[in-house]
Structure 1
Amino acid sequence: MIVRIMGEGQVKLDDAHFTELNRLDDELLAEMESNDEAGFQRTLDALLDAVRRLGTPLPDDALEPSELILPSADASLEEVRDMLSDDGLIPG
């Protein structure tokens, strides 16, 4: 799966990593629902770090369609809330 982190670029992630990413996504959703700004920022950072660590960066000139778009590290709770689907940021 090709994942874009807004403002950073794209990475290719193996589907096997989505269990870990979904766990972080669930934590992020719970923190957003309770308006836990500090927890939200901590978990968003962990989610983006996991994508960077587990994924393989695509070249800057690659024009692959992104199957998943994640917010930038400096996104606010409200900005991320606007991006959510019923499943959170990561489907599944």
Structure 2
Amino acid sequence: MIVRIMGEGQVKLADSHFAELNKLDDELLQELESGDGAGFRRTFGALLGAVRELGEPLPADSLEPSELILPSPDASLEEVREMLGDSGLIPEL
């Protein structure tokens, strides 16, 4: 799956990594619902870090269609809340 982190670029991420990412996404959802700003920032950073670490960066001039778009690292709790789907930021595969 091609994943875009807004403001950073795209990575190719194997479907096998989504179980791990969904655990972080579930934690992020709980923090968003409770308004835990510090927890949100920590978990959101961990989620983006995992995508960067597990994914293979695509060349900067590559224009592949993104199947998943994640907010930029500096996105606020409210901005991320607006981007949430029914199952969070990361789809269940």
Matching residue's letter, 1:67:
E
Find the counterpart in structure 1 of residue 90 from structure 2. Answer: 90
Give percent identity, aligned residues only.
77
Give me the TM-score of the superposition, normalised by structure 1.
Answer: 0.99
Q: RMSD of the alignment, in Å?
A: 0.4
Structure 2 CA distance, aligned partners of 1:72 and 1:29?
17
Find the counterpart in structure 1 of residue 13 from structure 2. Answer: 13
Find the counterpart in structure 2 of residue 72 from structure 1. Answer: 72
Find the counterpart in structure 1 of residue 55 from structure 2. Answer: 55
Find the counterpart in structure 2 of residue 42 from structure 1. Answer: 42
4+ runs deviating over 2 angstroms? none
Q: Find the residue that maps to 1:60 and give its secondary structure.
A: coil
Q: Find the residue that maps to 2:66 and give its secondary structure.
A: coil
Give me the TM-score of the superposition, normalised by structure 2.
Answer: 0.98
Alpha-carbon deviation of 1:91? Answer: 1.1
Q: Deviations over 1:34-75 (max 9, x none)?
A: 000000000000000000000000000001000000011110
